[in-house]
Amino acid sequence: MTSNFWARLYVKVCSKMGKSALAFMLSLLIFIILFLTMSIFAIAILFMLKYGLIHGMIEPTIFGPIIFLILSSAVVGTTLTALFSRIPLKPIRRVVQACNKVADGDFSVRLPVSAIEEFNIFARSFNRMTEELGSLEMLRSDFVNNFSHEFKTPIVSLRGFAKILKNPHLSEEERNEYLDIMISESDRLTELATNVLTLTAIENLNIISSKTEFDLSEQVRRSVLILESKWADKNLEMIIDLEDITYLGNDDLLSQVWINLIDNAIKFSPNNGKIKIKLKSHEKGIAFKIMDNGYGMSEESQKHVFDKFYQGDQSHSTDGNGLGLAIVNKIVKLHDGEILIDSEVGVGTSFTVTLPQ
């Protein structure tokens, strides 16, 4: 308690000292400007007197008024500046107070419009910054809450079924059923941990240093085959149109892009549905497009589809943890590419990945 009191007192004293120091510096600056101006004026007059450029006054007569003018102007100017410095410094004080609030975690603070255009530009930039910080704070909070929920749910499930298995009167069929559920929940935990580690690793990357040249079309085919059991279980028709393309990039990272996008399309496709996959080259680079005839997404869901742990319409939620598309988005950006989504509720969804050649 005592340490907090002294900390708050120190902050208040520093804040007061900061305001006084700012006013003092402004007064000192005005004083220096006035003093230099009057000194240059006095030197110029003395120079002209010395070389006879002006007449009518002897040097001692004019020197006294000049000194008096220099000193009186400096004193009066500095005094007025000290008295009225609070007016021009008011916007700066607002900025200092707003910055202190942001440092304390209050991202709702906004700077008002000022009569000075330069301060207006700064205010708009500051307000935009606090708005973005507020959004990031909400996203961080949601991330923590969602991660805790996603991580806790399978653990609770595993614990519950483990207790049930201790019952000696369970039939062999029931025991196998519960074991299968526990295996499924374990896989879910493993996938969650893997995705979080992957996302953390790629978020710390700014550039991709390990690039190799590989067959992109073959990589997409291999991704489709990896997920064959999933689309075969739903009896999905896979319509694949791949142009033979060689690409220079990170083989492992891009493989995750295609697997996540195809897996996402399979999850949200109805039984006996269709998935179309196209890979084409064009003037600006390479375009990969995947389309399904699943549930589709609302405009609001499309805005957040690349956010961590976002799973859209919960009435159509399926197995997953909402990290796949966040990973896809980051990997595409690392390759200087772009990913676009086009979706309509009840019609389907398409993702288009554009990569530069």
Q: Same domain for 199 and 256?
A: no
192 falls in which pLDDT band (50, 70, 90)? confident
What's residue 290's pLDDT?
Answer: 92
CATH number (domain holding residue 160):
1.10.287.130
Range of the domain at 19: 2-135
Q: Same domain for 81 and 170?
A: no
Q: Same domain for 166 and 218?
A: no
Q: Same domain for 79 and 128?
A: yes
Q: Same domain for 281 and 335?
A: yes
Residue in the structure block whose two tokens are 């990913």: 339
Number of Cβ atoms within 10 Å of the Cβ of 145: 11
Q: Same domain for 218 and 336?
A: yes
Question: Structure pTM?
Answer: 0.53
Q: Same domain for 50 and 107?
A: yes
Q: Same domain for 126 and 173?
A: no
When mean pLDDT is compared over 2-6, 30-34, 57-61, 348-352, the highest value belongs to 348-352
CATH number (domain holding residue 294):
3.30.565.10
Summarised one tens digit per residue, pLDDT across range 22-59 is 556 666 666 676 667 667 766 776 777 677 666 554 44
What's residue 102's pLDDT?
Answer: 78
Range name among 113-122, 135-144, 313-322 with the lowest pLDDT average: 313-322
Q: Which of 85, 113, 135 is at the close of a domain?
A: 135
Give domain status of residue 140, yes or no.
no
Cβ-contact 150, 196 below 8 angstroms: no
Please determine, for residue 313, whether its predicted confidence score (pLDDT) is greater than 90. no
Q: Same domain for 289 and 327?
A: yes
Q: Same domain for 222 and 350?
A: yes
Summarised one tens digit per residue, pLDDT across range 241-263 is 999 988 888 888 888 889 889 98
Q: Which of 155, 172, 203 is at the close of a domain?
A: 203
**Domains identified in the chain, total number:** 3
